[in-house]
């Protein structure tokens, strides 16, 4: 990925001018920066044996921006809430969404003997191997 980012930075137009020095260079620079960042993130996670793969489609800040938009809407005309105003708006959004704590830890294994198909697919039971 880092090599692809480097190639983007060295990409040239037909007139031999670097794309990274053009008036619309920010998209090329941002893409090269993103490729380098994801590559370094993957390297750190893989070296620490924290994961085996990364779903890059989940590396998206839109849900976070949408949430903070909801927080700002709770403040009315105030675009820069104080800590107390933010805490109040945060609590309101949690209560409004009826967020509950999970009863099952994320790493808990599913029960043996059952298949978990996609929604809408017929359910199948597996033979338990004991």
Give tens-digit pLDDT for 76-111: 777 778 888 888 888 888 777 776 666 766 655 544
For residues 2 and 39, what is the distance between their CA atoms, to the nearest angstrom? Answer: 7
Calculate mean pLDDT across residues 1-25.
79
For the chain, the average pLDDT equals 74
CB 32 within 8 A of CB 1: no
Output phi, psi for 114, to 5 deg: -130, 145
Q: What is the pLDDT of residue 114?
A: 40
**pTM for this prediction:** 0.47
- Dist CA 65 CA 112 (whole Å): 39
Using pLDDT thresholds of 50, 70 and 90, give the confidence band for residue 21: confident
For residues 25-42, give the mean pLDDT: 85
């Amino acid at each position: 990925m880092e090599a692809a980012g480097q190639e983007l930075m060295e990409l040239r137009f037909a007139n031999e001018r670097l794309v990274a020095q053009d008036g619309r260079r920010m998209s090329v620079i941002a893409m090269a920066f993103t490729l380098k960042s994801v590559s370094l993130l993957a390297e750190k996670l893989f070296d620490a044996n924290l994961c085996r793969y990364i779903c890059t489609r989940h590396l998206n800040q839109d849900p976070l921006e949408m949430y903070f938009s909801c927080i700002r809407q709770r403040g009315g005309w105030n675009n820069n809430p104080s800590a107390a105003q933010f805490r109040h708006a945060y609590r309101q959004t949690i209560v409004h969404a009826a967020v509950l704590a999970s009863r099952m830890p994320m790493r808990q294994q599913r029960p043996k003997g059952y298949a978990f198909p996609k929604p809408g697919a017929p359910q199948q039971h597996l033979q338990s191997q004991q």
